[in-house]
Structure 1
Amino acid sequence: MLNNINRSNCFIFGVILAIAFLVACGKSRPKTFTVGIINLTSSLDVVADGFKDGMAESGYVEGENIAYIYEGPTESIEALGPAIQRLIEAKPDLIFSITTPATILAKQAVEEIDTPIPIVFCPMTDPVDAGVVDNLRNPGGNITGVKVGGHVQKQVEWLVKIVPGVKRVFVPYNPNDKSGIQGLMQLQEIVARLGVEILVRETPTSKDVKKATTAIPEEAGAILMLPDNLIVSYVSDFSKAGIKRSLPTVSVSFDQVKAGTLIGYGFDNYSIGKQSARLADQILKGTKPGDLSVETADFFLTINLKTAKAIGLDIPNNILQQADNIIY
């Protein structure tokens, strides 16, 4: 009788071990995702930082369940194509494209492969006009992201409020960047109503932009930088030129104001990176990119009081109270 009980116990114990072994073998290791990042300019590296932090907040831990492929900013449009091809050859689960030129080229390259890689983009002024998505609510295809357009008109309005009497604004302009083209169109729509004249100078190359920083027209009463990656990569140069001439400078983001411009109205680079991560998370969990509406970034007013003091400008308290960020 005792032997039968022992044999029964041994049998049950053996079954439990077998089940435990099968369960252990059946457990799959958590999937590790690979995300490729393509970026045109070092001034937007903070967007990539925001994206990674946003992904971490959604549970993607680098080195555990996510890996990033990022060679760093290409610093030229010509280098984007080869960099994108290298990303595609690595077969990532998703591509995060930073800037309009990077997104346009990434979309074109991905459409040529058998198994398209989903793309999340930011920042783009007008993804519909750029031909990246069909419409904002239903992007279609294999791409979605965050747009930042619509702030240029408010930039001019804030300039006129903060610097009453400004009549002529110097605008360096890159005709090779879709964002710059769209920004200039928005600018042209509002300046006549505000009684402001824009002095446009085409700067299609880095050499041209550098020259423009030292060739600001004498009649200019302010400098405005469009949402163009080539132009804003020289934000520090334009800020110094503005201070030297006691001219207010207007840009887009907090980082650009931190670099020395007087006023910034537009998106925050780090925040739009985190915003893009929320879209990427949904895609990696199975949602089709084309079913995710293109989101719009929040806009912020930033004022640099150090620059105001340097150019001899006193900004009223009622204006400062409306600012989202003030740099002292």
Structure 2
Amino acid sequence: MRCSALALFAALSVSSSAMAADVSVAVTAIVEHPALDAVRDGVKEALEAAGYKDGENLKFTYESAQGNPGTAAQIARQFIGEAPNVIVAISTPSAQAVVSSTRDIPVVFSAVTDPVGAELVTSLETPGGNVTGISDMSPVVEHVALIQEILPEAKTIGFLYNPGEANSVSLLAALKAAGEPAGISVIESTASRTAEVQNAARALVGRADVIYVPTDNTIISALEAALVVADESDLPLITADTDSVERGALAALGFNYHQVGVETGEVVARILKGEAPGSIPVEIASGSNLVVNKSAAAKMGVELPEAVLARANQVIE
């Protein structure tokens, strides 16, 4: 009887060892909202397509910093102590926290607008070191053109952002540069925390013809607070985040963030298969989608042009 028990224990031990993960990928994001969650899910999907399945030959862990940069730094230290094969950092704050904490573990960032400006890499073409990733630099010139098409009388854009997010600061500069030739000025309104978003939006009422929300994690995670102001004030709100349109934004021209995650996961798989991260050029996410919301337009007192509706990838009624 005792021999049988020992044999069973040995068999279970062998089975458990066989099921142990061959590689480990740790993923972190600054906050949970639909776009960043879609990136995470896309990463996991791409890894499975490449032959790495969570619970079989892959240990896939995820931590959110819940919007707190201090927590992002703690997560970075935790992950580094666990020594995964690759760390995936979604969003600029999380990427900065991880990249500043390790020079050894491969890091793949995602949903980072300006990797050079955020000091994650010195060059997109030859990042070097242990870091590479996918940038989601917004097509700001196209955003200005879209605003002009929907709101031809608009002369002032209210830019709602967190000045502590490096990606938003880069996008502010890009928006000002894109608006100047079109005779459009930019008015800034800031919110450093989600609790400040509604007041920041109210500060634009009567001063801006349209609110523009970039891919700013603080604002996007509290978008409903800004939408209350937009609806009450007949102040159109347009974003760079397509997932925000279903939540009540008027329109967005931006990336499919699940696809951004898939592209990120493909880079992670290349590293797991032996490529050095520093030899993989940073890529700009491919493609962009136009999504519009007809009911939101009605609430904000806007009639969407037929040309915009006709070319939209998705029209929310």
TM superposition score normalised by structure 2 = 0.88
Counterpart position of 1:247: 235
Counterpart position of 2:28: 38
Counterpart position of 1:65: 57
Aligned residues: 297
Counterpart position of 1:201: 189
Counterpart position of 2:76: 84
Cα distance, 1:31 vs. partner?
6.0
Any unmatched runs of 5+ in structure 1?
1-27
Counterpart position of 1:261: 249
Counterpart position of 2:267: 279
Evaluate the alpha carbon distance shift between residue 316 and residue 59 of structure 1 in structure 2; reply closer, same or farther with a 3 A threshold: same
Counterpart position of 1:270: 258
Q: Matches of residues 1-328 of structure 1 in structure 2 within 5 Å? A: 32-43=22-33, 44-111=36-103, 116-297=104-285, 298-328=287-317
TM superposition score normalised by structure 1 = 0.86
* Structure with max Cα Rg: 1
* 1:158 partner letter: L
Structure 1, 174-183 or 28-37: larger mean CA deviation: 28-37
Q: Distance in 1 between matches of 2:241 and 2:314?
A: 11
Cα distance, 1:30 vs. partner?
8.6
* 1:184 partner letter: L
* 1:97 partner letter: A
Q: Distance in 1 between matches of 2:151 and 2:95?
A: 36
Evaluate the alpha carbon distance shift between residue 240 and residue 208 of structure 1 in structure 2; reply closer, same or farther with a 3 A threshold: closer
Deviations 1:8-63 (CA, angstroms, capped at 9, x unpaired)? xxxxxxxxxxxxxxxxxxxx989611111111011122211111112112221110
Q: Distance in 2 between matches of 1:68 and 1:59?
A: 13
Deviations 1:240-281 (CA, angstroms, capped at 9, x unpaired)? 321221121111122111111111112122111111000001
What secondary structure is seen at the aligned counterpart in 1 of 2:143?
Answer: helix
Any unmatched runs of 5+ in structure 2?
1-17
What secondary structure is seen at the aligned counterpart in 2 of 1:287?
Answer: coil
* 1:40 partner letter: I
Counterpart position of 2:14: none
Q: Distance in 2 between matches of 1:42 and 1:73?
A: 8
